[in-house]
């Protein structure tokens, strides 16, 4: 049973910082690409950052230089350090775990947490 649980969302003023955490269970963590997505009101869900088990990272252009994704494979945790927050960062942030399908072995796995609210406002 896959479970992803996010924490750390809060109300913060522009320019402030937050650190989001995602605790994973029920998966072989090392085989998954972990990511953070966000969805703002009236907008579709978008990728914020993703990280492979080997440490390869991809960021959305809008957060480069401000956000840092990391993972602790021993603890099966993934983090998103968010600095210099802007009102445009306001969204529900979702943790994601993805593993491609392996024909004849297993189907694609793409799991989501329930999300944590980040609100950037003065």
Q: What is the pLDDT along the chain (122 residues), one digit of tens a residue?
A: 889 999 999 999 999 999 999 999 998 899 999 999 999 999 999 999 999 999 999 999 999 999 999 999 999 999 999 999 999 999 999 999 999 788 999 888 899 999 999 999 99
Tell me the HSE value of 34 on the side-chain side, using a 13 A CA sphere.
Answer: 29
Distance CA 72, CA 89 (A): 25
């Amino acid at each position: 049973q896959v479970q992803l649980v996010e924490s750390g969302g809060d109300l913060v003023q522009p320019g402030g910082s937050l650190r989001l955490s995602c605790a994973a269970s029920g998966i072989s963590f090392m085989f998954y690409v972990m990511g953070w997505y966000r969805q703002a009101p009236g907008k579709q869900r978008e990728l914020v950052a993703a990280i492979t088990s080997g440490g390869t990272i991809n960021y959305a252009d809008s957060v480069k230089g401000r956000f840092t994704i990391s993972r602790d494979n021993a603890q099966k945790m993934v983090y998103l350090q968010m600095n210099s927050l802007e009102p445009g960062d306001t969204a529900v942030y979702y943790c994601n775990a993805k593993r491609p399908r392996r024909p004849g072995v297993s189907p694609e796995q793409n799991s989501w947490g329930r999300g944590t609210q980040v609100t950037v406002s003065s």
